[in-house]
Structure 1
Amino acid sequence: MAQWIVDYLPTWNIIRISGIAAYVLLFAGVFLGIAQGMPIAKGRPKAVMFEWHTRTTWLAFGLGITHALTLVIDHYSPFTWRELLIPFTASVHPIGTGLGTLAFYGLLIVLLSSDLRNKLGRKWWFMFHMLSYPVFAGLLIHGMVTGSDSGHVIMRLMYVFTGISIIGITVLRGLMRERKGPEITIGPKRNESESMKDRKWAETYGLAVPLRQEQLK
């Protein structure tokens, strides 16, 4: 019964649909993740973008698993577990398939590090989260190299559009942060209460200690 299902299951269609859908959802997840981190993203819109950023990324991971498992049972050109789990060992498109495997592992690290963010700390979480960029790039190349329909004009336009979109929004986010600019101070930052304490301390002990504003006059 199980073999009959495998024989008559449209594995090739499942492989292509799940692979393309996983890529599109990952693009949406990465794009929303960058967008919700912009300085102008605040309040409810920021929360909604973050929520869909998480959902689309997890959906992409789930479809990636479906894509890989279907490759194993495909009756036309099946892959072995070794070819799927060990990068660059596939007999067909070893480089493209290897990049897909590495991207899958990278996405798993990104998702797990997000769930363990409080335990890892912001520094390590950020380092792991930056793998999103090579993961996306790896899947883009994987789709273009291994996809049987990647030569179609619509698929080419999709890869070009998604790639340029990620680059564009990344540059835009960087420019917006640069435009905002860092807070520049000379010496340790002193608030008004600290300045008043210094003045009272100097007056109490009869010390002629000029404050910074008096020095500037």
Structure 2
Amino acid sequence: MAQWIVDHVPTWNIIRISGIAAYLLLFAGVFLGIAQGMPAAKGKPKATMYQWHTRTTWLAFGLGILHALTLYIDHYSPFTWSELLIPFRASVHPVGSGLGTLSLYALLIVLLSSDLRNKLGSKWWFMFHMLSYPAFIGLLVHGMITGSDSGNVLMRLMYVFTGLSILGITVLRGLLREHKGPQITIGPNRSQSQPAMERTWGEAYELVGAGRQERLK
């Protein structure tokens, strides 16, 4: 059965298609994850973006596993288990292949930390979740170095567009949060509570004055 797969299944096509699809799905997952965290994202649209953020990221990881397994059974340029599992051990494109391995590990940590968010706490979850950025960058560089069709103009444009899109929406989210930040206060707003306090003291003063007048009578 295994030999039939090696001889008849178009492993090279599967390698390229699964690799590109995994990268695009990870791009979608990271983009949606940043977008659903925008200050303007609320209600049902936010929930929908979060659901698709999770789905596309898991699909990207699954296709990444398929990509690696197909590299192992490929008859043209097979990889050994050590080359697949240990970063920078590959005989072909060691740097690019190593970045792909590290990105897959980082993506696994991101996904597991999301499932364990309640146990980890917000601080640790956020630190692990930030690995989404190096995972995406690693896969981008991995595709550009190891991809046999990375010299194609359309493929280059795809990498440039996706990379700039993640950079742009990250900067935009940071600017929006910075703009909104000073408006966020913990506890009562002083500008709003000051008049209320003045009214309270005024009413108390009037009550005390009324009491004194009653005693004088």
Where on the TM-score scale, by shorter chain, does this alignment land: which range?
A: 0.7 to 0.9
| Partner Cα distance (1:105, 1:118) in 2 | 21
Identity over aligned pairs, percent = 80
3-state SS, counterpart of residue 23 of structure 1: helix
| Partner Cα distance (2:136, 2:49) in 1 | 18
CA shift, 1:94, in A, is 0.3
TM-score normalised by length of structure 2 = 0.86
Counterparts of 1:160-179 in structure 2 under 5 Å? 160-179=160-179
CA shift, 1:5, in A, is 2.2
Report the CA distance shift for 1:184/1:153 in structure 2 as closer, same or farther (over 3 A): closer
User: Residue type of the partner of 1:161?
Assistant: F
Q: Structure 1 regions of 5+ residues with no counterpart?
A: 207-217
Summarize deviations over 1:155-183 as a string: whole Å, max 9, x none: 00000000000000000001111111324
CA shift, 1:153, in A, is 0.4
Counterparts of 1:1-217 in structure 2 under 5 Å? 1-183=1-183
User: Residue type of the partner of 2:152?
Assistant: H
| Partner Cα distance (1:50, 1:67) in 2 | 26
| Partner Cα distance (1:71, 1:176) in 2 | 43
TM-score normalised by length of structure 1 = 0.86
Q: Structure 2 regions of 5+ residues with no counterpart?
A: 209-217
| Partner Cα distance (1:4, 1:88) in 2 | 30
| Partner Cα distance (1:182, 1:103) in 2 | 36
3-state SS, counterpart of residue 158 of structure 1: helix
| Partner Cα distance (1:84, 1:162) in 2 | 26
Rg larger in structure: 2
| Partner Cα distance (2:11, 2:114) in 1 | 32
User: Residue type of the partner of 1:75?
Assistant: H
Report the CA distance shift for 1:184/1:50 in structure 2 as closer, same or farther (over 3 A): closer
User: Residue type of the partner of 1:131?
Assistant: L
| Partner Cα distance (2:4, 2:55) in 1 | 34
CA shift, 1:24, in A, is 0.2
| Partner Cα distance (2:91, 2:182) in 1 | 52
3-state SS, counterpart of residue 28 of structure 1: helix
3-state SS, counterpart of residue 128 of structure 1: helix
> Greater helix percent: which structure?
2
